[in-house]
Amino acid sequence: MILPIVLSIGLLLYSISIFLYLYRILKGPTTSDKVVALDSIGMNLVAIVALLSMLLDTSAYLDVILLIALLAFIGTVSFAKFIEKGKVIERERDN
Amino acid sequence: MSFLHLAIFLPFLMAMLIPIFYRWTNQLHTGWIVLPIPVILFIYFLTFIPQTMQGVVTETMPWIPSLGINFTVVVDGLSLLFALLITGIGSLVTFYSIFYLGKKKERLNNFYAFLFIFMTAMLGVVLSDNLVVLYLFWEMTSISSFLLIGYWYHRERSRYGARKSLLITVFGGLMLLGGILLLHVITGSFSLREIIGEASVVQASSLFIPAMILILLGAFTKSAQVPFHVWLPDAMEAPTPVSAYLHSATMVKAGLYLVARFTPLFAVSGVWFWTISLVGIVTLFWGSITATKKQDLKAILAYSTISQLGMIMTLLGVGAAALHYDSWSDDIYIGALVAAVFHLFNHATFKGSLFMMVGIVDHETGTRDIKRLGGLMRIMPITATIAFIGTFAMAGLPPFNGFLSKEMFFQSMVDVTTLNLFNADTWGILLPVIAWVGSIFTFVYSMIIFFKTFGGKLKPHLLPKKPHEAPLGLLLPPLILSALVVITGLFPNLIAKPLLEPAVKSIMPSLYGTDYHVHISFWHGFTMALLMTFGVIILGILLYKTANWWRPFIKEKVPRFFQWGKAYDNSMYYMEQGSYRFTLWIMTGWLRTYLNYMLMAFIILMLGTIFATDALNFDISTISRVTMMDYVLALVIVVTLVGVVFSKSRITSIILLGAMGYTISIFFIVARAPDLALTQLVIETISVVLYLLVFYHLPQFSNIEEKPKWLSVKTLISFGVGLVVFLISLSAYDTTFYDSISQYYIDNTYTKAAGKNIVNVILVDFRGFDTLFETVVLAVASIGIFGMVKLRLARREKNENK
């Protein structure tokens, strides 16, 4: 009986942190702040999906957790590359 | 397919063969080869006279029987009169053109092909019983007339005249088609005889007046009635044989034919009577008064044609009163119909000869300007004789046929004042007065044509060529016509019984079987009409003598109020300018403008439909319970949305869009759709990466950095679209009348399709067909992107030019 309540509290806390990260995306003085905030939102989403699948009592969303982790990494890397070089995919040298 | 059908198409077949003959025969003038065709047809149509005196000849050839469209040819008195005019004058014009058009200079194959197409078209118009076929031939006359007017297409005026006549006559033709379709709606038939047979049904219908007006518009445009007469003077840019044939004797009479043909159907109405009579009388008056001020002989003849057509039109209008009488013995208005038919014949003869005469004068002196011409009587005595007969017949002087029909015209106009139908006994007095005044001017311009050309002194220094008498070939056709003018003037009853009587009977079908006879003999009596003719002659001579005094007035003052031609030009100009400006105004070339149009149309149509059908229906009883999680997610989405709209830099927008997409995938999780959530996450990431890819090439935000205005069209449209979609989805939520079919899938996913993931089984098994084409869409998109990136034809060319 205690489990749903604990899970709900956990969801609430993660939601609040998402809002805080959103504030950082909107306000963040540099682009890097915003990208890091987006990456953190992704990690929070991982946690939220995990909590949700416990709450819904299903294992169908475990793939989603893996995927979010992967994609958040890819997204962050491409943003980082963009910030560093202005392009995401570079041309090969010998072309 | 009878020989009658073949007779109609014979000129057309000839027109197709002309180019071949033109190539083969270098020595012979093409006109000699084609000349036998109209002559044979003329003789063939002469053989119908005994039959049309008794009744009608009908031949049918199925064309589109399933639509009730059959090529039915009916020869009755009226059709035969026209057919004889078309083929007879057609023969003379062909003969005349052999001598008029030079073999070396002119493109004779074009000329005769156009002319013979026209001949077929005209025969088809007057002989068709089926209205659709009639309309087909009607447009064919317009097109072939267009080609003939623009025969010398290197001249700007010819092209202008051809375009003008085509626009006006095709406008009228389309109106005629509308009238025909209305008649078909009323009666269910396209056959003219059947429709006239059901005249009482048509007359009771509410579409009676619209059908009548549309058909009259067709007739008025073709017959150059005011205000549609503006094309005829400009059609004078055509070669003179064409003017003689089309624009005096045949095509412009097609409208008269139509009016006469529909008289049994529409004569019951006062609108018909008054419209035709008044338009005709105004045309008569305006045409004759304008003809007196023209310098060019062909222009004078053009306006005189307009005037004479108006006169016949008036007679047909007045003759409509005749159909209100049960017996012909007390019916004096038949006289108007007889006069109309008689004058139609007379006008074709003398106007044809006059045009040919003008052609001769033009040919031999090099000019048609009456200011330069004069004193040609001694040099060209035969031409002068032709002109004398033609002009005096046109003026209505004895002993020519114009005198007889003019007398009958006056008699009918006087008779109208005693008609006790359609308020004719009060307003009818206008008709004889205007007709009389118009006839005075007719007399004046006829005298101008003759005496300014042939009387007075010769002015050799003004003439481009040294004048001499024309060759016999040019003189023969107008001489034949002049002989006809004199013969029918002296012995009118020669044509009264075989031609005029059947024609009148076909305008008034009730006369068939009665012992009614046309007898033109009362030209001895001392009647009101004779007095009017004396008045015309006396006043006409006075006006002619004082022409120098009053012509400037007509030339300068009157036209300022009635510039019909200018009105046409201006309307063309403003229509073109107006549509040009309108297009410029509405087609800005900015996508945002078009998006505004589309979304506004969406809002207006949707809101209109919702309120018109009273479709607003908020029933939230079946809505699911909203959890805390939903609120939180919705709030996240709203925050990101507002951020996207108001963010100043593009990269913030992209990050926020990514955040929004991830949040939506959580919505999918809450709604228990794992496959959707997976796909959404991947697609969202790829889109974000793609945005970053193209980011470098996108324009900066800075150029639209002004603050978004709250009260702009865009804001209103955005809110409107949101509101409409919101209303629609709420209203649509609870309008499912049937249970969902998803229970079937739930039951059968494993048993029938061997899968446990219901979404995937639907995608690849139950509804795999959609998936196939979604795959195709992706393939096309990727190939398209590859093509767009790799294929750069324009840039490569530019580099080569460097």
Q: What does A9-63 look like in DSSP terms, one character per residue?
A: HHHHHHHHHHHHHHHHHHH-SSHHHHHHHHHHHHHHHHHHHHHHHHHHT-STTHH
Q: For the packed helices B334-365 and B401-416, what is the interaxial angle rounded to 10 degrees? A: 140
Per-residue pLDDT at B514 exceeds 90? no
Q: Residues B401-426: what's their mean pLDDT?
A: 79
Please give the average per-residue pLDDT across B422-446, as a whole number.
83
Q: What's the pLDDT at B524? A: 60
* pLDDT band with cut points at 50, 70 and 90 for residue B150: very high
- Rounded CA-CA distance B362/B101 in Å is 12
Residue B696 with chain A: CB contacts under 8 Å: 86-87
CA dihedral B440, B289, B228, B168 (to 10 degrees): 120
Task: Give the residue numbers in A contacting B (CB under 8 Å), as ranges.
Answer: 8, 11-12, 15, 18-19, 22, 25-26, 31, 34-35, 37-38, 41-42, 45, 48-49, 52-53, 56, 58, 60-61, 63-64, 67-68, 71, 74-75, 78-79, 82, 86-89
Question: Residue B466 in contact with residue B460, Cβ under 8 Å?
Answer: yes
Residue B741 confidence (pLDDT) above 70: yes
Q: What phi and psi values does residue B108 have, to the nearest 5 degrees?
A: -65, -30
Asked if the Cβ–Cβ distance from B678 to A82 is below 8 Å, we say no
DSSP string covering B251-318: GGGHHHHHHHHHHHHHTT-HHHHHHHHHHHHHHHHHHHHHHTT--BHHHHHHHHHHHHHHHHHHHHHH
CA atoms of B41 and B53, how far apart (whole Å): 19
CB B202 within 8 A of CB B186: yes
Q: Tell me the mean pLDDT in the region B223-232.
A: 90
What is the end-to-end Cα distance of chain A in Å, rounded? 64
Which of B637-641, B688-692, B778-782 is the least confident region?
Answer: B688-692
Beta bridge partners of B61: B71
Q: What is the mean pLDDT of residues A35-41?
A: 89
Among the partner residues A22, A71, A89, nearest to B640 by beta-carbon distance: A22
Residue B788 has pLDDT above 70, yes or no: yes
User: How far are the Cα atoms of B313, B314, B336 from residue B420, in angstroms, in the given order?
Assistant: 21, 18, 16
Q: Check B643 against A22: CB less than 8 A apart.
A: yes
Q: Which residue of chain A has the CA closest to B690?
A: A88
Instruction: Tell me whether the omega of the peptide bond preceding residue B241 falls within 30 degrees of 0, making it cis.
Output: no
Burial grade of B551 (CB within 10 A; 0-12, 13-18, 19 or more): middle
Higher model confidence: residue B737 or residue A16? A16
Average pLDDT, integer, range A77-83: 84
Per-residue DSSP letter, B559: H
Q: In Å, what is the CA distance from B79 to each residue of B128, B253, B260, B542, B646?
A: 9, 12, 11, 41, 80
For A48, B519, B769, the CA distances from A55, given in Å and listed in that order, are 10, 112, 36
Is some CB atom of chain A closer than 8 A to the CB atom of B785?
A: no
Q: Are B94 and B31 in contact (CB under 8 A)?
A: yes
Q: Which residue has the tokens 């990050």?
A: B655
A72 residue type, one letter: A
Crossing angle of helices B713-733 and B591-612, rounded to 10°: 40
A18: nearest CA partner in chain B: B636
Residue B632 in contact with partner chain A when CB distance is under 8 A: yes
- Is B743 a residue whose pLDDT tops 90? no
Instruction: Write the DSSP assignment of B214-225 as a string of letters.
Output: HHHHHHHHHTT-
Measured in angstroms, the CA of A1 and the nearest CA of chain B are apart by 19
Q: Whole-angstrom Cα distance, residue B647 to residue B142?
A: 65
Question: Has residue B744 got a pLDDT over 80?
Answer: yes
Q: In this predicted model, what pLDDT tens digit does every residue of B41-55 receive, in sequence order?
A: 999 999 988 888 888
Instruction: Find out whether B142 and B166 touch, Cβ atoms under 8 Å.
Output: yes
Q: What number is the ipTM of this complex? A: 0.80
How large a percentage of chain B has pLDDT more than 70? Answer: 93
Q: Does B678 touch chain A (CB under 8 A)?
A: yes
pTM: 0.81
E strand or H helix at B176, and its extent? helix B156-187
Q: What is the pLDDT of residues B344-386, one digit of tens each?
A: 999 999 999 999 999 998 888 888 888 888 888 888 888 999 9
Domain boundaries of chain A, sorted by first residue:
1-85
Residue B554: alpha-carbon gap to chain centroid: 32
8 A C-beta contact, residue A28 and residue B655: no
What would the mean pLDDT of A65-82 be, rounded to a whole number? 86
Reported in sequence order, the residue ranges of B69-139 that DSSP labels E, i.e. its strands, are 69-75
Given a cut of 70, whether residue B751 has pLDDT beyond it is yes
pLDDT at residue B748 greater than cutoff 70: yes
pLDDT at B423 over 70: no
pLDDT higher than threshold 70 for residue B740: yes
A with B: how many residue pairs have Cβ under 8 Å apart? 92
Closest among B356, B349, B355 to B96, alpha carbons compared: B356
B586-614: b (≥16 Cβ within 10 Å) or e: eeeeeeeeeeeeebeeebeebeeebeeee
In the chain, the amino acid numbered B322 is A
Q: How confident is the model at residue B117 (pLDDT cuts 50, 70, 90)?
A: very high
Closest-CA residue in chain A for B657? A38
B655 and A25 within 8 Å at the Cβ level: the answer is yes
Omega before B477 within 30 of 0, i.e. cis? no
CA triplet B617, B672, B766: central angle to 5 degrees? 85
Tell me: pLDDT of A1 over 80: no
Residue type, B639: V
pLDDT recorded at residue B215: 94
- pLDDT for B97 equals 92
Rounded Cα distance, B544 and B553, in Å: 14
Report the phi/psi class of residue B423: left, alpha or beta, with left for phi > 0 and alpha for psi in -120 to 50.
left
Contact between A61 and B677 using a beta-carbon 8 Å cutoff: yes
Distance of alpha carbon B235 from alpha carbon B162, whole angstroms: 7
CB B234, CB B223: distance < 8 Å? no
Mean pLDDT value across chain B: 86
Q: Rounded distance, CA B69 to CA B134, Å?
A: 11
Q: What chain B residue is nearest to A48 in terms of C-alpha separation?
A: B666
B561-619 tens-digit pLDDT: 667 778 888 888 999 999 999 999 999 888 888 999 999 999 999 999 988 888 777 77
Q: Which residues contact B388 (CB under 8 A, 6 or more apart)?
A: B450, B454
Rg (CA), chain A: 17
The pLDDT score that the predictor gives to residue B498 is 85
pLDDT over 80 at B111, yes or no:
yes
Q: What is the mean pLDDT of residues B207-230?
A: 91
User: Is the separation of the CB atoms in B89 and B11 below 8 Å?
Assistant: no
Of chain B, the end-to-end C-alpha distance in Å amounts to 69
Chain B closest CA to A20's CA: distance in Å?
A: 11
Task: With cut-offs at 50, 70 and 90, classify the pLDDT of residue A78.
Answer: confident
Q: What percent of chain A has pLDDT over 70?
A: 92
pLDDT of residue B501: 85
Q: Residues of A with CB below 8 A from B692's CB?
A: 78-79, 82, 88
Nearest one of B389, B380, B404 to B455, comparing CA atoms: B380
B645 touches chain A (CB under 8 A): no
Cβ atoms of residues B217 and B176 within 8 Å: yes
The residue that leads in pLDDT, B698 or B645, is B645
DSSP character string of B741-773: SHHHHHHHHHHHH--S-HHHHIIIIITHHHHHH
Residue whose entry in the numeric block shows the structure tokens 């007057």? B126
Sort B77 into a burial class: Cβ within 10 Å, 0-12 / 13-18 / 19+.
Answer: buried
Say yes or no to pLDDT of B705 above 60: no
Using DSSP, state whether B613 is helix, strand or coil. Answer: coil
pLDDT digits (tens, 9 = 90+) for B20-32: 887 777 778 888 8
Q: What Å distances lie between residue B217 and B140, B172, B200, B213, B224, CA to CA?
A: 18, 6, 23, 6, 10
SS3 content of chain B, % helix, strand, coil (to 5): 75, 0, 20
Q: What is the DSSP letter of B191?
A: B
Q: pLDDT tens digits for B477-489?
A: 999 999 999 998 8
**Contacts A38 to B, Cβ<8 Å:** 655, 658-659
In degrees and rounded to multiples of 5, residue B223 shows phi and psi of: -90, 15
Residue B656 to residue A25, Cβ atoms within 8 A: yes
Pick the range with the lowest mean pLDDT from B46-55, B127-136, B151-160.
Answer: B46-55
What percent of chain B has pLDDT above 90?
36
Query: By CA distance, what is A75's nearest residue in B?
Result: B685
Is residue B802 over pLDDT 50?
A: no
Q: Considering Cα of B188, then B194, then B195, then B199, what sign does the dihedral take?
A: negative
Name beta bridge partners: B58: B74
Q: What is the mean pLDDT of residues B751-778?
A: 91
Q: What SS3 class is residue B71?
A: strand
Task: Please provide the DSSP assignment of B481-548 as one string.
Answer: HHHHHHHHHH-THHHIIIIIHHHHHHHSGGGTTS-------TTSS--HHHHHHHHHHHHHHHHHHTHH
